[in-house]
Each structure stands twice: as structure tokens, then as C-alpha cells.
Amino acid sequence: MSALADRTHGRWPWLAAAAAPASTVALIAVRDRLGEDVRWALWTAPAALLWHQTEEWFWPGGFLPWFNREVIGSEQDEFPITRGGGLVINVAIGWGVTAAAARGGMRTPALGASALAVNVANGAMHVALAVRRRERNPGAVTSALLFLPLGVAGLAAIARDPRGGTRPVVIGLAVGAASGVGTFAAMRRRLARAAAR
């Protein structure tokens, strides 16, 4: 693997970094149509995710060693979250869920609320750790500038929309909380199992 792909812990972060500005330009081009209803919230989620992944993994990067070592307590850069795990979490789940939520629109408000709430939970973790440790972490800037404001505003918009309401938002918040807590618990369990061997 090339030194550049090694620095980013894989090749997919390069695709995220290329897609982030392209997705933003596409959103700007259709902003009038997206502003007509809640679609803006659902279509900004994938773009915000791409910018967040760019900050975490591409530039300035360093998410994998930071999260594994400093947050989870591992002695390895690539465990318990591995390169393959990062690919699944970020591409298969992250891109898949936010794209499906955007395409589903208000036909699937619980899916949209879930995508937004997962972004909010992720953003809250980054910002809370940055404040607590008084240092920037890979993902803190896009969390504060994109995930939190867009996610909260999007959840509020879904709650106000007659096709949405509070029920899909409550479901989304439950999914967001479960994803945050579940990720930490799963990674800590994986680390403990490896240490017990």
C-alpha cells in the first residue's frame, strides 16, 4: 500500500475527501429546491458526513490512532477499530444510511431522523472530548460546525413536519444514542477479549 494510503489507513478516505467538496457544490446548485421542505436536512447529512470523514481520516487525519489509543485505551493504532472496521462503519453504514435517508426523504422520516441523530451523537462525542481534554481531536471541528447545528436543526424540522412529528425523532434519538453507546461498548469489549487471551 502506498505511503499516502497508509497515512489515511486506507483508500476510502481519499474518496470522501474528493466527494465532500463535490457534494457541497451539488447542494448549493439545488438549494432552492431543497429549501422547500425538510429535504435540506436529509441531503446535508451525507455532505456533512463526508466533510467529517475528511477531517477524521484524510486531513488533518489521525482518527484511528487517536480513537483507539486515547479514547478506548488500546496500545495499538489499529485496534480495536481496524482499517476494515473503519471502512464498514464509515462507508457501508455511514454512506449507506445517510444516502438512503436522503433518497427516502419524508417517506421514511424515522430513517432520516436516525441518520441525523447518529451524526449528532458522533458530533457530541467529539466536542465533549475536545472540551474535556482542551485539545482538538480528529473530527471536532466538523462536529461543532456541521454535525451538531445541521443535525439538531434537521431533527427539529422533522418534528415540525406533518409527515414526520415527534415519533420518528424519538426513534432517531434512540438509534443515535444506541450507536454511540454501542460503539464504545463493543470496542471496549473487543479490547478486553484481546487482553484476556
Q: Provide DSSP, 51-70.
A: HHHIIIIISS--HHHIIIII
Pick from 130, 159, 157, 133: nearest CA to 143: 130
Check residue 24 and give its pLDDT. Answer: 98
Domain range summary for the chain, segments of one domain joined by +: 3-196
Check residue 5 and give its pLDDT. Answer: 63
pLDDT band at 50 (very low <50, low <70, confident <90, very high): very high
Q: Is residue 1's pLDDT more than 60? A: no
Q: Is residue 195's pLDDT more than 60? A: yes
Q: Is residue 189's pLDDT more than 60? A: yes
Give tens-digit pLDDT for 76-93. Answer: 999 999 999 999 999 999
Q: What is the pTM of this model?
A: 0.95
Check residue 197 and give its pLDDT. Answer: 86
Check residue 4 and give its pLDDT. Answer: 58
Cell numbers given for 55? 477531517
Per cent of the chain over pLDDT 90 is 91
Q: How far apart are CA 150 and CA 155, in angstroms?
A: 8
Check residue 181 and give its pLDDT. Answer: 96
Give tens-digit pLDDT for 157-170. Answer: 999 999 999 999 99
Check residue 2 and give its pLDDT. Answer: 66
Give tens-digit pLDDT for 2-18. Answer: 675 677 888 999 999 99
Check residue 112 and give its pLDDT. Answer: 98
Q: How far apart are CA 155 and CA 161, in angstroms?
A: 10
Q: Tell me how far CA of residue 23 lies from CA of 17, 34, 83, 120, 151, in angstroms.
A: 10, 14, 24, 20, 17
